[in-house]
C-alpha cells in the first residue's frame, strides 16, 4: 500500500485518479478547498483521508505536510494536480488573471515541492508528479495565462528531474489533452478527442506506476499539436490565427 497525496482531488482528473488508486488498495490523501466533496470520498473509501487545503496558502501547506509526517512518516507519490484555467479576451488582458493563474498553477507547486521533498525522500519508490497540460505544446488563442503557466510548470518539472537525477525521486510531467471535467465543461469551443476523467486517470495511474518521465494523452491529439508546432513559424501562425476570435476591435 502506497501513501499518495493528490491536490485538486475534489473533482475531475484528481478525483478520478484518487478513486482509481483507492480501488487498487492505496492510501490516498486528498486535498482541495471544498471540504464536502472530499468528505464524500472519505465516506466511500476506508483508506481515503481528506486534507482540505488552499494550495496557495503557504502556512496551510506547511501544516498539512507536518500532519502527513506525523501520521504517515512519508509520501510515496505527490500528484500536484490542482489547477485553474481562465481565458483572455483581447483587448482586455487583466494582469490579476495571470497572477491568480500562476499562484495556483505554478508558485503553489514550487512551494509544495520544496516542502514535500524530505517526505518523498523517505519512500523507497518516490514519484513527484506535475499535472501540466497539452496547452503547453502549442500557443493557442486566449490561453496567454493558462498555457504560459503550464509551459512554466513543464519546464520546472524537467529542471527538477535534472536536479534529482542522483536521487531515487522520479519526476513525471503529465500533459493531458481535453478531459471531461468541470474545468472543460464551461468551454464554449470544440474540444477534439475529449476523453473521460476515468480514462485519463487510468492512463496516469499506469504511467506513474511504470515510472514514466512524461505522460501525454491522447497520443494522436498530442502528436497533431507537436506536428503543427514544428511547422515553419509563418505557416504555424497562419493556421492558428484562423481560430482567433479577436477582429482588432480595440
Q: Checking phi first, is residue 142 left (phi over 0); if not, alpha (psi -120 to 50) or beta? A: left
Pick the binder of ligand NAP from 3, 4, 13, 171 (CB under 6 A): 13
Stretch that binds ligand NAP, among 41-49, 71-79, 131-139, 157-165 (CB under 6 A): 131-139
Q: With CB under 6 A, what is the number of residues at the site for ligand NAP? A: 31
d(CA 248, CA 250): 6
Which 55-74 positions form the footprint of ligand NAP (CB under 6 A)?
Answer: 55-56
Tell whether residue 11 is a contact of ligand NAP (CB under 6 A): yes
Rounded alpha-carbon distances, angstroms, from residue 169 to 40, 58, 86, 89? 32, 23, 32, 40
User: How many other CB atoms sit within 10 Å of the CB of residue 244?
Assistant: 12
Helices (H) and strands (E) in the chain, counts: 10, 9
Residue 160 CB, shortest distance to ligand NAP, in Å, is 17
| Residue corresponding to grid cell 514544428 | 230
Please, which residue, 14 or 126, has the CB nearer to ligand NAP? 14
Contact of 98 with 87, CB cutoff 8 Å: no
Tell whether residue 207 is a contact of ligand NAP (CB under 6 A): no
d(CA 77, CA 14): 13
Which 220-239 positions form the footprint of ligand NAP (CB under 6 A)?
Answer: none
Please, which residue, 107 or 121, has the CB nearer to ligand NAP? 107
Tell whether residue 131 is a contact of ligand NAP (CB under 6 A): yes
Helices marked H in 10-107: 12-23, 35-44, 58-72, 95-102
Q: Is residue 146 annotated as part of the catalytic site, yes or no?
A: yes
Residue 8 CB, shortest distance to ligand NAP, in Å, is 3
d(CA 73, CA 123): 9
Contact of 18 with 6, CB cutoff 8 Å: yes
Tell whether residue 126 is a contact of ligand NAP (CB under 6 A): no
Contact of 23 with 17, CB cutoff 8 Å: no
Please, which residue, 126 or 218, has the CB nearer to ligand NAP? 218
Residue 75 CB, shortest distance to ligand NAP, in Å, is 17
Which 161-200 positions form the footprint of ligand NAP (CB under 6 A)?
Answer: 176, 178-179, 181-184
Tell whether residue 136 is a contact of ligand NAP (CB under 6 A): no
Which 79-118 positions form the footprint of ligand NAP (CB under 6 A)?
Answer: 81-85, 104
Which residues are identified as catalytic? 146
Binding site for ligand NAP (CB under 6 A): 7-14, 32-34, 53-56, 81-85, 104, 131, 133-134, 176, 178-179, 181-184
Amino acid at each position: 500500500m502506497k501513501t499518495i497525496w493528490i491536490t485538486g482531488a475534489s473533482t475531475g482528473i484528481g478525483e478520478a485518479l484518487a478513486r482509481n488508486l483507492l480501488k487498487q488498495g492505496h492510501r490516498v490523501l486528498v486535498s482541495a478547498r471544498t471540504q464536502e466533496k472530499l468528505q464524500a470520498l472519505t465516506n466511500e473509501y476506508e483508506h481515503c483521508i481528506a486534507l482540505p487545503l488552499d494550495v496557495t496558502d503557504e502556512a496551510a501547506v506547511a501544516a498539512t505536510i507536518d500532519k502527513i509526517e506525523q501520521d504517515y512518516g512519508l509520501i510515496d507519490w505527490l500528484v500536484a494536480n490542482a489547477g485553474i484555467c481562465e481565458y483572455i479576451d483581447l483587448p482586455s488582458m487583466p494582469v490579476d488573471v495571470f497572477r491568480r493563474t500562476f499562484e495556483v498553477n505554478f508558485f503553489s507547486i514550487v512551494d509544495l515541492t520544496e516542502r514535500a521533498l524530505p517526505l518523498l525522500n523517505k519512500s523507497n519508490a518516490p514519484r513527484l508528479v506535475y499535472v501540466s497540460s497539452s496547452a503547453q505544446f502549442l500557443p493557442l488563442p486566449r490561453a496567454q495565462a493558462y498555457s504560459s503557466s503550464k509551459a512554466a510548470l513543464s519546464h520546472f518539472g524537467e529542471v527538477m528531474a535534472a536536479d534529482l537525477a542522483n536521487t531515487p525521486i522520479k519526476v513525471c510531467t503529465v500533459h493531458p489533452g481535453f478531459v471531461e471535467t468541470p474545468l472543460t465543461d464551461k468551454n464554449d469551443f470544440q474540444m477534439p478527442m475529449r476523453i473521460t476523467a476515468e480514462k485519463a486517470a487510468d492512463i496516469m495511474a499506469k504511467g506513474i506506476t511504470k515510472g514514466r518521465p512524461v505522460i501525454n494523452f491522447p497520443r494522436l491529439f498530442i502528436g497533431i499539436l507537436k506536428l503543427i508546432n514544428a511547422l515553419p513559424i509563418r505557416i504555424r501562425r497562419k493556421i492558428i490565427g484562423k481560430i482567433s476570435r479577436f477582429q482588432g476591435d480595440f
